[in-house]
Amino acid sequence: MMSPKRSLRPRFRSRFAVLWLGGVASVVLVLPYVLALQGSMLESLGIPLPALLLASVTQSAALLAVSVFVGLRAADASGSASGS
């Protein structure tokens, strides 16, 4: 028989993946808006624009991973995690 903690691991991973991928997708989808508003200022920085965008997405993905992980752990610990 599986322990309850072990049976929750796949559900935790799937919730993490869905939330993290949704967050990263939203970061990528906002890039055209950012470029429309601040494209000329970003080009004047002297950093290649693709490198700057890659750095921005990478940083956001890392921060989202940490915040989603901590949020899911806190939800599980407090008992406010979704049961479905």
Verdict on whether the full-model pTM lies above 0.85: no
Q: Extract the residue ranges of the chain whose pLDDT is less than 50.
A: 1
DSSP of 5-62:
HHHHHHHHHHHHHHHHHHHHHHHHHHHHHHHHHHHHHHHTTSS-HHHHHHHHHHHHHH
The structure tokens 């970003």 sit at: 42
Residue 81: what pLDDT?
A: 64
How confident is the model at residue 20, as a pLDDT?
A: 97
